[in-house]
Amino acid sequence: MADDPFTTLWVYLAASPLLWLSLTLVCYLIALRIYRLGGESPWLNPVAIAVALLIGLLILTETPYQTYFDGAQFVHFLLGPATVSLAIPLYRQRQRLQRLALPIVAALLASVLTAASSAIGLGALLGASTETLISLAPKSVTAPVAMGISEKLGGLPSLTAVLVVSTGILGAVLGTGLFRLLGIRDDAIKGFALGATSHGIGTARAFQVSPVMGAFAGLAMALSALVTALLLPPMLARFMAAGG
């Protein structure tokens, strides 16, 4: 019996290392189009839609995640340069940053400690394993740093990646509405809050709202990654020593 033409074509295309990179870009362009057609509603977050489309493709084609990652890892590589490039809008806000130095430090410490301790505490209450708790702890940090922390401390980087993306999408979708509900109007405050809790995805959403909001979100994302990498290991060590 002759092979299914679709199957034959897919086997041919799957051999190309650029297949999943190309499909990732196509899915994001489709998601971006949906987002714009929907009036740029935060509920139509393009990252969330693109992730859903890619998951559907992986399931439909029965493609293992590792195969996808091997083909699309250039996107992962670009996360580093993209993060560094956020220094440009930050530089433009340097005078305001100097005036807000003390509040920024206080908010940063409160954010990092709350994000990590709440994740560890809730996970422990629900009976999560030590490995899962370690994977949960850096969920509010940008993916490359969070996965590195998780791996070094004995967690599951793949689980951490899922949690990071989920946290980012949730913050990007709900953040702006929550700010309106709380009566928060200052773009610097809104941006810092989004960047500290929702890392890169929240920062992307902040830039969609305003350049100032995006700049402060980028600052919070970078500083949160640094402070979490310094504070999380001793926090986890104390928790485990206390019988967590």
Asked if 206 contacts 190 with a C-beta cutoff of 8 angstroms, the reply is: yes
| Spatial distance between the Cα atoms of 145 and 32, rounded to a whole number of angstroms | 26
| Spatial distance between the Cα atoms of 6 and 236, rounded to a whole number of angstroms | 50
Q: Give residues with Cβ within 8 angstroms of 229, minimum separation 6.
A: 141, 145, 148, 149
Q: Tell me, what's the pLDDT at 7?
A: 57
Matching residue, tokens 């969920």: 139
Q: Tokens for 185, please give them.
A: 């109007």
| Spatial distance between the Cα atoms of 13 and 48, rounded to a whole number of angstroms | 26
Using the predicted structure, report yes or no on whether residue 12 has a pLDDT greater than 80. no
Q: What is the pTM of this model?
A: 0.74
Matching residue, tokens 């890392």: 199
Q: Tell me, what's the pLDDT at 5?
A: 57
Using the predicted structure, report yes or no on whether residue 101 has a pLDDT greater than 90. no
- What angle separates helix 65-85 from helix 46-61, to the nearest 10 degrees? 160
Least confident segment among 104-108, 148-152, 240-244: 240-244
Q: Torsions phi, psi of 156, nearest 5?
A: -110, 105
> How far from each other are the two terminal CA atoms of the chain, in whole angstroms?
60
Using the predicted structure, report yes or no on whether residue 1 has a pLDDT greater than 90. no
Confidence of residue 94 (pLDDT cuts 50, 70, 90): confident
* Distances 103 to 87, 189, 199 between C-alpha atoms, Å: 20, 10, 19
- At position 55, the amino acid (one-letter code) is I
| Spatial distance between the Cα atoms of 183 and 162, rounded to a whole number of angstroms | 31
Give the pLDDT confidence of 185-228 residue by residue, as tens digits: 999 889 999 999 888 888 888 888 888 898 899 889 888 988 88
For the chain, what percent of residues have pLDDT higher than 70?
90
| Spatial distance between the Cα atoms of 136 and 130, rounded to a whole number of angstroms | 10
Using the predicted structure, report yes or no on whether residue 35 has a pLDDT greater than 70. yes
Quickly count: other Cβ atoms within 10 Å of residue 81's Cβ. Answer: 8
The rounded radius of gyration (Å) of the Cα atoms in the chain is 20
Using the predicted structure, report yes or no on whether residue 164 has a pLDDT greater than 70. yes
Least Cα distance to 45 among 186, 184, 198 occurs for 198
Using the predicted structure, report yes or no on whether residue 140 has a pLDDT greater than 90. no
